[in-house]
Amino acid sequence: MSPIPKAADGYYHPRTEAEVRSLILYARETGKLLRCRGSAHSASAAIFTTCKGPPPCQMDTPPDDGNLNVMLNLMNGIVEWDDARKQVTVQAGCHLGLDPSDPTHTSTLQNSLFYQMNQRKWAIPDMGGIIHQMVGGFLSTGSSGSSLTYAFNRHLVGLRLIDGNGVTVDLDESDERFYAAGVSLGLLGVIIHATFQAVDAFDIVGEQSTTTLPDCQVDLFGDGGKGKPTLEQFFRQTEHTRLMWWPQEGVHRMEVWKATIIKEKTGFKPDPYKEFPPIDGTQWPSQFVAGGVLTLLGHWMMPGLIGNITRFFVTHVYPTIVRIFEPVDGKKGPLKFQDIWWHGLPMDNSAYDNLIPTRFTELWIPIERCQEVMQTLMHVYQTKGVWAAGTYSCEIYPTPASKFWMSPAYERDVVKVDVFWFGKNAGDPIAHFYPQFWDALKPFQFRPHWGKYLPYTAVDPTAWLQYVRAQYPRWDDFMALRAQMDPGQVFVTDYWRKHLGIPGRGG
């Protein structure tokens, strides 16, 4: 019998470090699996002990498979404020910001990490486009923001976890294992708490421009000139930025979002960025309409639909709809905004996942290949048309080199290509949509984001495994440490065994 009962929602909700240890030991002794769910922003198969259902197997509830699916929502407090060092130690179940989709309703604005840091006039100068995630999940997948100047994991200075042997392990930068555990995919142990180095709180000012490709402020495909930087130059000279490309024929819009820290705060007044046009003070109605349109388009435009009606819809109706939702800058110019750090930097935080559900594959490529990557993407869109452009956008943004072994940015600055798939589309993106991008960008030695859809083909299941493995200099070191810290494979699911080549128990 498990040391603590499983709740009605199907999860185990430990309250203490001792209860986490007891669950791990129980799983080891009974041959069960144990995985932790954070905000469930990652692909479901990467989160749960099993993922059953049609591809791509997105789940909202834990599987009833006899294994242990854990949530750390009751371990969400601040452990210590170290004022002398300006460091905060926080439990792994704490959300970075409010998670409006938290099924336990534990997450609040007031108990989120960034809110509490801001109350002390502290900050972390980088984060993802959303801040719904739990601390443990954001770290485990190697997630990051949109900057070459700053990086979230550079501010991680300590970790405590419980490994598959039930042993508490405290790690910091003096221990090489720290650089394995900082991006561990949940395979070394359950993170109990993390310590971050803070900086002084700050405000940002920025703008978002929406233009056609020729009118973009960046030379997206060339060597620069005529007052325009190359894409790599733009990334290096801009503190925070991301590009959103709508690549459909007849559309080809480029959104350039950029922000910088305000050095002088005289007269500062927040004027938040609005990703969607507000109606009566809320962005919900416009998202509802956009989600409805994308749902309709996703069923009309997927492979297999042929005929004159579909062709007319694709080449005439759809571009008109997108141009309405993504108009180019008018006489007023780019959209201006300014805000406090943790409100302004997560530019997608106002998006409702239930209205615009989005799936991702994200490929991290050496930033020196920016120009070739953009040219390759354009070739894919031009030659494959709507079946590559789809009904959604593609995000392009940077991240600096990391010391963590399994970070997709390990020892190299990267440009990240994040191809979106609308969650209500017909079809299977892993089989019919993403392979064209994996194949096209394969020559650029990409490393995939671990929490998003990973390259895979049923025809040759080991082909992509060997490719990805070759991109990580410390791969074998990580796998050896994994075997040492979890010899019973308490944390190794079939999904991770398939994508990482981990032998079966006793193999």
Domain holding 358: CATH number?
A: 3.30.70.2520
On whether both 277 and 318 belong to a single domain, the answer is yes
On whether both 184 and 228 belong to a single domain, the answer is no
Residue 92, domain CATH: 3.30.465.10
In whole angstroms, what is the distance from residue 393 CA to residue 390 CA?
A: 8
On whether both 282 and 159 belong to a single domain, the answer is no
Grouping H, G, I as helix, E, B as strand and the rest as coil, residue 89 is strand
On whether both 428 and 314 belong to a single domain, the answer is yes
Q: Is 187 exposed, middle or buried (0-12, 13-18, 19+ CB in 10 A)?
A: buried
The DSSP symbol for 480 reads H
Strand 253-261's sheet: what is its strand order?
335-340, 203-212, 253-261, 240-246, 394-399, 414-422, 358-366, 447-448
Please name every residue paired with 256 in a beta bridge, in sequence order, or none if there are none. Answer: 209, 243
For tokens 């209500």, what's the residue? Answer: 424
Question: Per the structure block, which two tokens stand in for 49?
Answer: 């002990």
Q: How far is CA 380 from CA 46, 248, 309, 359, 366, in A?
A: 28, 11, 24, 20, 20
422 located within any domain: yes
In whole angstroms, what is the distance from residue 279 CA to residue 285 CA?
A: 7
On whether both 278 and 145 belong to a single domain, the answer is no
4 located within any domain: no
- Single-letter amino acid, residue 121: K
In whole angstroms, what is the distance from residue 228 CA to residue 231 CA?
A: 9
pTM of the model: 0.94
On whether both 107 and 172 belong to a single domain, the answer is yes
Name residues whose C-beta falls within 8 Å of residue 345's C-beta, 6 or more positions apart in sequence: 126, 127, 145, 204, 240, 259
Element (H, E) at 416: strand 414-422
State the total domains in the chain. 2
On whether both 161 and 268 belong to a single domain, the answer is no
Omega before residue 56 within 30° of 0, cis:
yes
Q: How far is CA 410 from CA 150, 407, 424, in A?
A: 15, 5, 34
Phi, psi of 261 (to 5 degrees): -75, 135
Please name every residue paired with 364 in a beta bridge, in sequence order, or none if there are none. Answer: 416, 447
For tokens 């110019």, what's the residue? Answer: 333
In whole angstroms, what is the distance from residue 356 CA to residue 353 CA?
A: 5
19 located within any domain: yes
Contact (CB, 8 A) for 417 and 377: yes
What's the sign of the alpha-carbon dihedral 312, 315, 318, 320? negative
348 located within any domain: yes
pLDDT of 301: 53
pLDDT of 329: 87
Long-range contacts, 23-31 (Cβ 8 Å, 24+): 23/68, 23/70, 24/162, 24/163, 24/164, 24/166, 24/189, 24/190, 24/490, 25/166, 26/2, 26/68, 27/67, 27/68, 27/490, 28/164, 28/165, 28/166, 28/488, 28/490, 31/488, 31/505
3 located within any domain: no
pLDDT of 304: 46
| Each residue's pLDDT tens digit, 206-265 | 999 999 999 999 999 999 988 899 999 999 999 999 999 999 888 889 999 999 999 877
Instruction: Specify the pairing of strand 34-37 against strand 68-71.
Output: parallel
| Each residue's pLDDT tens digit, 17-74 | 999 999 999 999 999 999 999 999 999 999 999 998 777 788 889 999 999 999 999 9
Going by C-alpha positions, the residue among 387, 246, 220 that lies closest to residue 324 is: 246
The DSSP symbol for 328 reads P
Question: Per the structure block, which two tokens stand in for 384?
Answer: 């494959």
137 located within any domain: yes
On whether both 267 and 415 belong to a single domain, the answer is yes
On whether both 234 and 256 belong to a single domain, the answer is yes
* Rg of the chain taking only CA atoms, in angstroms: 22
On whether both 182 and 234 belong to a single domain, the answer is no
Question: Per the structure block, which two tokens stand in for 143?
Answer: 């997630």
What's the sign of the alpha-carbon dihedral 368, 434, 251, 380? positive
Question: Per the structure block, which two tokens stand in for 161?
Answer: 């976890």
In whole angstroms, what is the distance from residue 166 CA to residue 187 CA?
A: 13
* End residue of a domain, out of 436, 455, 474: 455
pLDDT of 305: 44
Q: What residue numbers bound the domain in which 434 lies? A: 203-455
Contact (CB, 8 A) for 451 and 41: yes
460 located within any domain: no
Contact (CB, 8 A) for 209 and 221: no
On whether both 140 and 217 belong to a single domain, the answer is no
Stretches where the chain sits below pLDDT 50 are 302-307
103 located within any domain: yes
On whether both 229 and 213 belong to a single domain, the answer is yes
Question: Per the structure block, which two tokens stand in for 297?
Answer: 């388009």
| Each residue's pLDDT tens digit, 113-134 | 999 999 999 999 999 999 999 9
Please name every residue paired with 225 in a beta bridge, in sequence order, or none if there are none. Answer: 228
